[in-house]
Amino acid sequence: MLYFSNTISEEKSSEGVERTSVAFKTLKSEMDEDRVGYYKLPIKSQDLLEDLQTLDISQFSQIVVIGIGGSSLGIKAIDSILESITPDAKEMIFFENSDPLTISENIAKIDKERACFFVISKSGSTIETTSIFKTLIGHFNLELDNAKNIFAITDKDSSLSKFASFHNIKEFNIPLNVGGRFSVLSAVGVAPLYVAGYDVKAILEGGDEFLESFFSGDENHLLQKANYLYTNAKQESINVVFSYADRLNNFTKWYVQLWGESLGKIDKNGNRVGLTPIGIIGSVDQHSFLQLIIEGPKDKNITFINIDNFNNDIKIPDISLYGIEKTDFINHTSFNTLINEQCSATMQSVMESGVSCDKITLDTISEKNIGAMIIYYELLTSLVGTMFQVNTYNQPGVELGKKILYKNLGDK
């Protein structure tokens, strides 16, 4: 279960009430008219699980994911979080970037006889993905025709789809009305995470429960937060997610892509709009970024995320060290308590310095909580995008960079 606390007061002005009402109705219309597909993924992807259960995956103990951005970040986030509570989870190896050192290091980890390969690209021709896939084919001399250890995840009829069909490779399709960064609960995340041994059904259930709660009118805090972010966008142009758990690091990276690529746009009036996303980790970044938050420009708002119960009882031992006895008061305290007290104290210091903040608490690490967190941030992104009056689901700035890259590399 997720718990929410914030310093954001309910919007009572007629303008604010109208804005949140319009945004809510817009999202409801996007869902009901099936113009935007991520709303229905928690239900539709249940059918995908039935398909996956027919596969013989018993020989695989390594899951190699070849994808970038929306084709990898969400999968990596879920793997990082749930690995600790899934003892039988299989190793996942991610090929994302064009960095030759990382590519070589990852290749060295792969046991060809134990590995299966998921090549993921919505467009089907992402240059980083196809370049790495070619490299793996060449290095491991992978047989393509009727391959049982290669899976393609892409749009129907894309170039990757045609490749998979030509070689009779198992293919999973991404709904055409689901953008890459909103696709983690589609085949993009469901297929590799299922093969890796995660309880994907529970993840989907958590997402569906939060969606139902939101559209039933039981998550009005989300509307208030979206309205606050929009209303104060010029003064507080930086949105910081401060996660108090190492395993949430990849989740914050997923949030950064979702937020930045969806909201950094030119609105219908020709204005450049958006909120700069920053993801940091506590308590580590109390010793770096926090100083800027407390005494730097008041151009930020902060969302703290913490885990109430890590289900780990490791404690600080009753040891007194000469010269640093002043820290003995912490002896016998669990690290679970320590990190959450650090989160609370940091949030209090931020509030006392006059910086806006709110907090999301996961009662524990669970599949349902992760599914709910994914939907929470997708809904929040859609709400703010609607208020900014931008197309939340395209990325023309990214496409421009791709065109220049292709031209510079000699594509005619």
Mutual orientation of helices 249-263 and 367-388 as an angle, nearest 10°? Answer: 20
Domain that holds residue 20: 2-31+204-396
**Co-location of 225 and 359 in the same domain:** yes
> For the chain, what percent of residues have pLDDT higher than 90?
89
The string of pLDDT tens digits covering residues 163-219 is 999 999 999 999 999 999 999 999 999 999 999 999 999 999 999 999 999 999 999
**Co-location of 291 and 391 in the same domain:** yes
**Co-location of 353 and 223 in the same domain:** yes
**Co-location of 27 and 108 in the same domain:** no
CATH code assigned at 146:
3.40.50.10490
**Co-location of 302 and 330 in the same domain:** yes
Domain-embedded: residue 411: no
Q: How many domains does the chain have?
A: 2
**Co-location of 215 and 338 in the same domain:** yes
Domain-embedded: residue 151: yes
The string of pLDDT tens digits covering residues 369-399 is 999 999 999 999 999 999 999 999 998 876 6
**Co-location of 191 and 226 in the same domain:** no
Give the side-chain half-sphere CA count within 13 A for 146.
0
- Reported as a pLDDT band with limits 50, 70 and 90, residue 13 is confident
Mode of pairing for the β-strands spanning 265-266 and 272-273: antiparallel
**Co-location of 45 and 184 in the same domain:** yes
**Co-location of 116 and 210 in the same domain:** no
| Catalytic machinery residues | 261, 287, 402
User: Which residue do the tokens 């606050």 mark?
Assistant: 228
Evaluate whether 192 touches 75 at the Cβ level (below 8 Å).
yes
**Co-location of 255 and 373 in the same domain:** yes
Evaluate whether 79 touches 195 at the Cβ level (below 8 Å).
no
Domain-embedded: residue 401: no
**Co-location of 13 and 144 in the same domain:** no
**Co-location of 209 and 339 in the same domain:** yes
**pLDDT score of 14:** 85
Domain-embedded: residue 410: no
pLDDT for 279 beyond 80: yes
